[in-house]
Amino acid sequence: MPAERTGERRPRHDGPSTLALLLGLAAALIPLFTVIAGGAWAALAFVFAGILLGASYLLRRAGLGAIVVTPALLVVWTALMTAVFFSDVAWLFVIPSGEAFARVPRLIEIASSDIAVGVAPLQASASLTFLIVGAVGLLTIALDHVVLTARMPLLAGVALIAVWLIPTLAVPQAVDLWAFALLALALLWLLRTETRARHRLRTAKSPRGGVGAVAAAIAASAIIVAVVAAPALPTPAAPLGGFGGGTAIDASLNLGDDLRRPAEVPVVRQWSESAAPAYLRVATLTELNGDSWRPDRNRSVPIEDFAPEDFAAAGIAIAEENRTVEVLDLSSAQLPVPADAVSFDGVDGPWRISAANGTVVSPSSAARGQKFDVVSRTPRPTLEQARAAEARGGPREARELPAGIPPTVGRLAAEVTADAANDYDRLLALQTWFRGPEFDYSLDAPVEDGFDGSGVEAVSRFLEVRSGYCVHFASAFAIMARTLDMPSRVVVGFLPGLPTGDVVDENRVYQATTAQLHAWPEVYFDGIGWVAFEPTKSLGSAQRFASEDTASNEPEPEPTPSAAPEPTSSASAAPRPEDDPTAGTTPTSTFSVVNVLPVVGIAVGVVFVLALPALIRLALSRRRVALARRGSAAAAWRLVQDSAIDVGIPVPGSDSPRAFGDRLRDDHGAPAAAVERLVGAVERASYALPGSFGDADGDELTADAAAIRAGLFATVSAPRRLTGRLIPRSLVIRPGSTFAEAMPLGR
């Protein structure tokens, strides 16, 4: 196609697309304000994006190709980052020195720690600002390449929506519909500018209105409906997750990551006139599907309408306790509450309670910041009454065992409880065995030995290794109880915590942190209800009802109640530097081969990844060359078509081989003789009667295809030639496809 037909060339310096992309980036970053408090990072991120996109526009307007523009933007990004964050150790304020590079890992480490242990919205430190602004800059460069070079605005739209969703999922809350509307408008504008560019490619005078007007009307209507009607829709029930900011926990017994947090975060406080603080439950898990326990989803009623029935058998004492619970930092749709809660006062928002398990959930409110009084009524049988009761009843799924459970689990349970004469004593025997010298508490052993889970396989492995944390102790206890035909379940919540030294109304205040996140088993007794046990070694208080001959029915305390075990690393904060690396220097390290090897490995990996498209294209080309040598004119022709796509020459499906060959010869420097021979071979292979011509000369087909390919590459610019060889478009664009028809002209 002649170069003079500039009216059909797609501009690479498309101003509307650049502005639409900048607006889309700004809209996609709005939800980030729910995670990070506004500050300098927001202004810097927007300014960086604007400078990078502005530089891209000017470079493309100057006629530079993508092979130059994208690396140039990386250079601009490096200079900007250096000037803002490392100017004190940079050359000429914009050229990073070795010390600047040395600071980067420490900045990332500090920012990661801030994210891991912080509470949303985080205050943006220098380290966190560095991480966010740098990431936004790199995202801008990537989207610039996708939109303005690859002309794939839909892919850019997917990336922007993902950026918009991540903060929303991290801190679930009501959707900011106006922010979403702004993002939708930006994406529609981006798609529209690309559509207009495609129209300009086909004809200089594209018709106005038509499909574009209809699409705009539909899009505008959809946005209006989303903004106006969505708030009126009913709110669905909240899943077992959280929202509202704060620390999140996993209520599905995958507590390992929560317990291994680098630092403790205070979560909940409680105080009461009772002698001891209570375990606080968040969720119960009854159904075991083999791989994991599933949180219960029972029917619930508003807490103000809750009227529990007395289920304890006659003669069993009921202990009524009043306590105050204050949730400091918990991103959860579940309230941490004591067992057998019957009434609440001071809870803010709509909350519902399940009579089946005593858990309290909300469809729209957050646990964080709640402070309420709760009354609980708990059965307190004597030791003799507990021994006389049978562990039976409860929901059907509380007795079910998954298929494939190793028989050794049941045999071990029978061995441990062989000397007990009743269900309660059997469970006490199990509890004593788990808390005895044969087991160790460890957060690391399950990870190192590959059984960091709660299902049957993890429990079987735990019973062999005999080292794990609360999830493994509780799950193993519950499964072994079921092998003894006793209904059991697992509860996720918090240990009572440790005293803070504060006193409220003459009552000692206890505080639980993320280190006291806990799981424990419960077994159902007929006439008593669910009874909690504590099999986790060195944690909590072991279950034991007092004999009727004693003055109290309270469980007998152990020497270290509620305290986290000494060996666990979750009980101490992760080490943090005293000051930010941006304000000082970092220690130097000596050069060694060991230090260099990772860098060399990364460099080799990067080179391999960059060369991978060219290697794949080389392998495919060799295969087609081999077919051409065996006389396949179609394979030789496909080599030519792929080369045309690689250098940016349109390959429409409507062109016949001769029309396409004429265009390659007249407009793109393909040798006339080679084109004529190869086109003739393709026409004979496609249209001639079988046997009317002899077999094509494979060597001639291969030579002609190679000559045409060389001619096509020789007539384009060096950047286009390099791009065509290193990043061949023909790997993803087939001849005759829509993308092949809309290829930019190779020059």
Q: Is the pLDDT of residue 234 over 50?
A: no
- The closest of 291, 256, 259 to 459, measured between CA atoms, is 291
Q: Provide the CB-side half-sphere exposure for 454 (13 A, CA).
A: 31
Neighbours of 420 (CB within 10 A): 16
pLDDT at residue 717 in the model: 86
pLDDT of residue 693: 65
State the Cα–Cα distance between residues 703 and 470, nearest whole angstrom.
72
% of the chain with per-residue pLDDT over 90: 19
525 and 600 part of one domain: no
* Mean predicted confidence (pLDDT) in 477-481: 94
Same domain, 530 and 601: no
Q: Which residues contact 19 (CB under 8 A, 6 or more apart)?
A: none
Q: Does residue 406 fall inside a structural domain?
A: yes
Give me the pLDDT at residue 576, please: 38
For the segment 5-43, what is each residue's pLDDT rounded down to a tens digit?
333 444 445 677 778 778 877 777 777 777 777 777 788
Q: What is the pLDDT of residues 161-213, one digit of tens each?
A: 777 676 666 555 555 666 677 777 777 776 766 555 554 444 444 333 333 44
pLDDT of residue 169: 60
Q: How confident is the model at residue 127 (pLDDT cuts 50, 70, 90)?
A: confident
The gap between the terminal CA atoms of the chain, to the nearest Å, is 11
Inside any domain, residue 20? yes
In which band, very low, low, confident or very high, does the pLDDT at 620 lie, cut at 50, 70 and 90?
Answer: confident
Residues 291 and 376 in one domain: yes
Report which listed range, 26-30, 84-88, 416-420, is most confident. Answer: 416-420
The Cα 14–Cα 200 span in angstroms is 12
Which range of residues forms the domain containing residue 221? Answer: 8-232
Same domain, 560 and 610: no
Share of the chain above pLDDT 70, in %: 72
| Residue 563 and residue 632 in one domain | no
Q: Are 354 and 340 in contact (CB under 8 A)?
A: no
Number of domains in the chain: 3
Residue 247 counted as domain residue: no
Pair 509, 642 in one domain: no
Contact by Cβ (8 Å): 545, 380:
yes
**Residues 267-280 pLDDT 10s:** 999 999 876 899 99
For position 222, what pLDDT does the model report? 42
Q: Specify which residues 344 forms β-bridges with.
A: 374
Residue 290 has what pLDDT? 65
pLDDT one-digit tens code per residue, 631-666: 888 888 898 888 888 888 888 888 888 988 888 888
Give domain status of residue 573, yes or no. Answer: no
- The answer to whether residues 397 and 481 belong to one domain is yes
Residue 379 belongs to some domain of the structure: yes
Single-letter amino acid code for the residue at 43: A
What pLDDT score was predicted for residue 252? 60
> Which of 568, 603, 628 finishes a domain?
568
527 and 676 co-located in one domain = no
pTM (global) more than 0.85: no
The region of weakest confidence among 77-86, 427-436, 673-682, 690-699 is 690-699
Looking at per-residue pLDDT, the higher value among 20 and 384 belongs to 384
Residue 385 has pLDDT above 50, yes or no: yes
- Give the C-alpha distances (Å, rounded to integers) separating 637 from 194, 661, 683, 736: 31, 10, 11, 13
pLDDT at res. 93: 79
How much is the pLDDT for 242?
43
Residue 131 has pLDDT above 50, yes or no: yes
Residues 179 and 211 in one domain: yes
* Mean pLDDT (whole number) for 2-6: 38
Question: Could you tell me which residues come within 8 angstroms of residue 4 by beta carbon, excluding any fewer than 6 positions away?
Answer: none
Q: What region does 315 belong to: left with phi over 0, alpha with psi -120 to 50, or beta?
A: left
- Is residue 3 one of the residues assigned to a domain? no
Among 105-109, 133-137, 337-341, the range with the most confident prediction by mean pLDDT is 337-341
The pLDDT of 492-501, averaged and rounded, is 91
Q: Please give the angle made by the CA atoms of 112, 116 and 122, to the nearest 5 degrees.
A: 85
Calpha distance 525→389 (Å, rounded): 6
Please state which of the ranges 180-184, 359-363, 481-485, 551-555 shows the lowest mean pLDDT: 551-555
Co-location of 392 and 490 in the same domain: yes
DSSP string, 189-225: HHHHHHHHHHHHHH-SSPPPSTHHHHHHHHHHHHHHH
The predicted structure's pLDDT at residue 177: 66
Report yes or no on 577 lying in a domain.
no
What is the structure's pLDDT at 454?
A: 67
Query: Is 316's pLDDT higher than 70?
Result: yes
Instruction: Please identify, among 232, 264, 281, the residue that sits at the C-terminal boundary of a domain.
Output: 232
Least trusted range by pLDDT, from 527-536, 553-562, 666-675: 553-562
Max avg pLDDT among 157-166, 290-299, 587-596: 290-299
Let me know: does 271 contact 509? Beta carbons within 8 Å: yes
> How sure is the predictor about 411, in pLDDT bands with cuts at 50, 70 and 90?
very high
Q: Is the pLDDT of residue 417 over 60?
A: yes
Q: Phi/psi class of residue 184: alpha, beta or left (left: φ > 0; alpha: ψ in -120 to 50)? A: alpha
Measured CA to CA, the distance from residue 710 to residue 640 in angstroms comes to 10
Residue 586: pLDDT over 70: no
Of the residues 553, 568, 583, the one at which a domain ends: 568
Give CA–CA dist 107/99, Å, rounded: 13
Q: What pLDDT score does 237 carry?
A: 36
Residues in the chain: 747
d(C-alpha 131, C-alpha 317), whole Å: 59
Whether residue 416 is found in the same domain as residue 563: yes
With a CB cutoff of 8 Å and minimum separation 6, the contacts of 642 are 617, 620, 621, 728, 730, 735
Check residue 231 and give its pLDDT: 40
Report yes or no on 587 lying in a domain.
Answer: no
Quick check: helix, strand or coil at residue 547? Answer: coil
- Pair 295, 374 in one domain: yes
